[in-house]
Chains A and B, each alone.
Chain A
Amino acid sequence: MDASVLEKLKVLAESAKYDVSCASSGTSRSSRKGEIGSAAGWGICHSFSEDGRCVSLLKIMLTNSCMYDCAYCINRRSNDIPRATLSVTELVNLTIEFYKRNYIEGLFLSSGVVRSPDYTMERLVRAIKDLRLIHRFNGYIHMKSIPGASQELVNEAGLYADRLSVNIEIPNETSLKMLAPEKDFKSVFSPMKYIQQGVLQSAEERKRFRYAPRFAPAGQSTQMIVGATADTDKDILSLSSALYQRPTMKRVYYSGFIPVNSYDNRLPALIKPPLVRENRLYQADWLLRFYQFKVEEIVNDAYPDLDLELDPKLSWALRNPQHFPVDINRADYEMLLRVPGIGVKSAKLIVTSRRFSRLGSLQLKKIGVVMKKAQYFITCHELGAKTIHELHPENVRGLLIRKPAHKHDDRQLSILFED
Chain B
Amino acid sequence: MLVFTYDKTFEGLLTAVFDAYDRRTFPDQLIEEGEILPLFCDETHAVITDEEKSARVWRGLEKKISASALSSLTVCWLSELPETDTLLFNYIRKAIDAPTSIELNFGDADVLQLSKIWKQVNNEKLRVIQFLRFQKTTDETYFAPIEPIYNVLPLTLRHLQDRYAGQKWLLYDMKREYGYYYDMEETREVRFEKKEKHLLSGILSEELMDKDEVLFQQLWKSYFKSITIKERINPILHKQHLPVRFWKYLTEKQ
Binding site for B on A (CB under 8 A): 1-3, 5-6, 9-10, 13-14, 16-18, 30-31, 33-38, 40, 44-55, 58-59, 94, 97-98, 100-103, 256, 258, 272-273, 275, 349, 352-357, 359, 363, 366-367
Kindly identify which residue among A37, A258, A359 contacts B163, using a CB–CB cutoff of 8 Å.
A37
Kindly identify which residue among A17, A52, A353 contacts B227, using a CB–CB cutoff of 8 Å.
A17
CB atoms of A3 and B215 under 8 A apart: yes
Contacts of B215 in A (CB 8 A): 1-3, 6
Interface window among B79-87, B173-181, B237-245: B237-245
Contacts of B238 in A (CB 8 A): 48-52
Give 8 new A-B contacts, CB below 8 A, not counting A258-B232, A356-B105: A1-B212, A5-B219, A37-B164, A38-B163, A44-B126, A44-B130, A258-B229, A356-B102
CB atoms of B129 and A44 under 8 A apart: yes
Minimum CB–CB distance for A174 against chain B, Å: 27
In the complex, A26→B173 CA distance in Å? 31
**Contacts A49-B238, A101-B216, A366-B112 given; does A349 touch B229 at CB 8 Å:** no
CB atoms of A366 and B109 under 8 A apart: yes
A–B Cβ pairs within 8 angstroms, 23 of them: A6-B222, A9-B222, A10-B222, A10-B226, A18-B229, A38-B163, A45-B130, A48-B237, A50-B235, A51-B234, A51-B237, A52-B234, A53-B232, A97-B212, A100-B164, A100-B167, A103-B133, A352-B106, A353-B105, A354-B107, A355-B105, A356-B102, A363-B106
CB atoms of A102 and B132 under 8 A apart: yes
Q: Bin chain B's interface residue count.
A: 35 or more
Interface residues of B in 55-105 (CB under 8 A from A): 102, 104-105
Contacts of A16 in B (CB 8 A): 227
Give the most central of B164, B227, B237, B251: most A CB within 10 Å.
B227
Kindly identify which residue among A30, A31, A47, A100 contacts B250, using a CB–CB cutoff of 8 Å.
A47
In the complex, A1→B131 CA distance in Å? 25
Kindly identify which residue among B144, B159, B164, B227 contacts A49, using a CB–CB cutoff of 8 Å.
B227
Interface window among B46-54, B134-142, B147-155, B186-194: B134-142
Closest A residue to B165 using CB positions = A31
**Contacts A48-B238, A100-B134 given; does A363 touch B107 at CB 8 Å:** yes
Contacts of A6 in B (CB 8 A): 215, 218-219, 222
**Contacts A31-B163, A48-B242 given; does A101 touch B220 at CB 8 Å:** yes
**Top 10 A-B pairs ranked by shortest CB distance?**
A52-B237, A13-B226, A356-B105, A51-B232, A48-B241, A353-B106, A48-B242, A352-B104, A49-B228, A52-B234
Contacts of A1 in B (CB 8 A): 212, 215
Asked whether any CB of chain A lies closer than 8 Å to the CB of B21, the reply is: no
Per DSSP, chain B at the interface is helix
In the complex, A24→B240 CA distance in Å? 20
Contacts of A357 in B (CB 8 A): 105, 107
Contacts of A356 in B (CB 8 A): 102, 104-105, 107-108
Asked whether any CB of chain A lies closer than 8 Å to the CB of B7, the reply is: no
CB atoms of B107 and A101 under 8 A apart: no
Contacts of B233 in A (CB 8 A): 50-51
Kindly identify which residue among A14, A272, A355 contacts B104, using a CB–CB cutoff of 8 Å.
A355
Contacts of A34 in B (CB 8 A): 166
Contacts of B216 in A (CB 8 A): 97-98, 101
In the complex, A16→B109 CA distance in Å? 49
Contacts of A44 in B (CB 8 A): 126, 129-130
Minimum CB–CB distance for A293 against chain B, Å: 26
In the complex, A256→B142 CA distance in Å? 40
Closest A residue to B240 using CB positions = A52
**Contacts A352-B104, A356-B107 given; does A47 touch B234 at CB 8 Å:** no
